[in-house]
Amino acid sequence: MLSGKTDQELKELSIKTGNACVGFNLRRTARLLGRLYDEAFEPLGLKGTQFSLLMAVAGNKDATIGELAQPLGMERSTLSRNIVVLQKKGLVTVEEGEDRRQQKISITEQGIFVLQEALPLWERIQERLIGELGVERINNLLEDLQSLSQGTKEK
Amino acid sequence: MLSGKTDQELKELSIKTGNACVGFNLRRTARLLGRLYDEAFEPLGLKGTQFSLLMAVAGNKDATIGELAQPLGMERSTLSRNIVVLQKKGLVTVEEGEDRRQQKISITEQGIFVLQEALPLWERIQERLIGELGVERINNLLEDLQSLSQGTKEK
DNA sequence: CCTTAATATAAGTATATACATATATTAATT
DNA sequence: AATTAATATATGTATATACTTATATTAAGG
């Protein structure tokens, strides 16, 4: 029963769950690293999230919202809005598919140019993170994140 | 030079950076797990993010926005808004400090009650994730996330 | 063919997030 | 003491995110 707990006990519970909670630690690290990426891409007028999405568009020619959302682990409604942001920047085009419910997303020449400029900035962060944890721990981390992502998809 | 790349080459680059990018994988996993937590806490009208924040408030009696923001790795302006959400739900109180610029945040009785209800739901997810990766990989993951969080703060 | 069901995306609403700027308050300088 | 600098929080603006609902389009059943 928490209601009877002293401040000290509450404090210990808070620290314990904070240290152990996968969700919290994921979000916190994502926030902190997110600012790193945003800062790096800032000269290109790009956010880290936008770099990832643009890269996904580049690698999936003429994909629809639904097709992109799947590997990104993102709601289609979310993706729909994120695509508009890239479209307004002139980095992607959106056009009706043969099935007129669908929207085919493609990267523009300008989008490819921006990716080209962004790539070395991305690599610099990658190197920095590898420098901090070492390549093995980074690779383990990436594998674990991918396993967890897989795991949530299977009900 | 990306501009000259074929679709196939772009596709391979996209897959390679997608698999290697720490930021992207963090965000994707955070999104997917976030939905798991949100679903679990839904009966309490709570999101995963709100559970973590409420737990942090519980463990830091009379902390200010600034004091809370630090360990959460969150901008004070963000935290300021997130606290309002908990306040409107009646889970925390906000009152002026002796230094009248500051706001002292405290958990309410109702907040403690909600935490109490949430705790077993949180543990169920924790067990599920440990069941998927094993306790060692989960602990490694948590350590790595904490190291990365530390790393971004320096410099 | 027409109605109904299924599907794809967008729009409505709410929260999470950050940066820049505004506001209020305290501390420091002269 | 009065002015200036520093600090704490809130607000403006924009993006990211998800759930629910609306809209448009295609597919299925009769």
pLDDT for B137-152, tens place per residue? 999 999 999 999 999 8
CATH of domain A23-153: 1.10.10.10
Quote the CA–CA distance of A11 and B155 in Å, as a whole number: 29
Q: Which residues of B touch A56 (CB under 8 A)?
A: 14, 18
Delimit the domains of chain B by residue range.
Answer: 8-153
Instruction: Please answer whether residues B129 and A22 qualify as being in contact, where contact means their C-beta atoms are separated by less than 8 angstroms.
Output: yes
The whole-chain average pLDDT of chain A stands at 95
Question: CA-nearest residue of chain A to B27?
Answer: A30
Q: Exposed, middle or buried, A155 (CB in 10 Å: 0-12/13-18/19+)?
A: exposed
Q: Could you list the pLDDT tens digit for every one of the 155 residues in chain A?
A: 556 778 888 999 999 999 999 999 999 999 999 999 999 999 999 999 999 999 999 999 999 999 999 999 999 999 999 999 999 999 999 999 999 999 999 999 999 999 999 999 999 999 999 999 999 999 999 999 999 999 987 54
* Distance in angstroms: CA B93, C1' C11: 35
pLDDT of residue B5: 75
Q: Which residues of B touch A144 (CB under 8 A)?
A: 133, 137, 140-141
Whether residue B14 has pLDDT greater than 50: yes
Strand, helix or coil at B106?
strand
DSSP type of residue A43: G
DSSP type of residue A19: H
User: Selecting from 1.10.3720.10, 1.10.10.10, 3.20.20.140, 3.40.50.2300, what CATH number does the domain B8-153 have?
Assistant: 1.10.10.10
Quote the CA–CA distance of B104 and A56 in Å, as a whole number: 44
Tell me the pLDDT tens digit for each residue of B44-92.
Answer: 999 999 999 999 999 999 999 999 999 999 999 999 999 999 999 999 9
pLDDT of residue A64: 98
Whether residue B119 has pLDDT greater than 60: yes
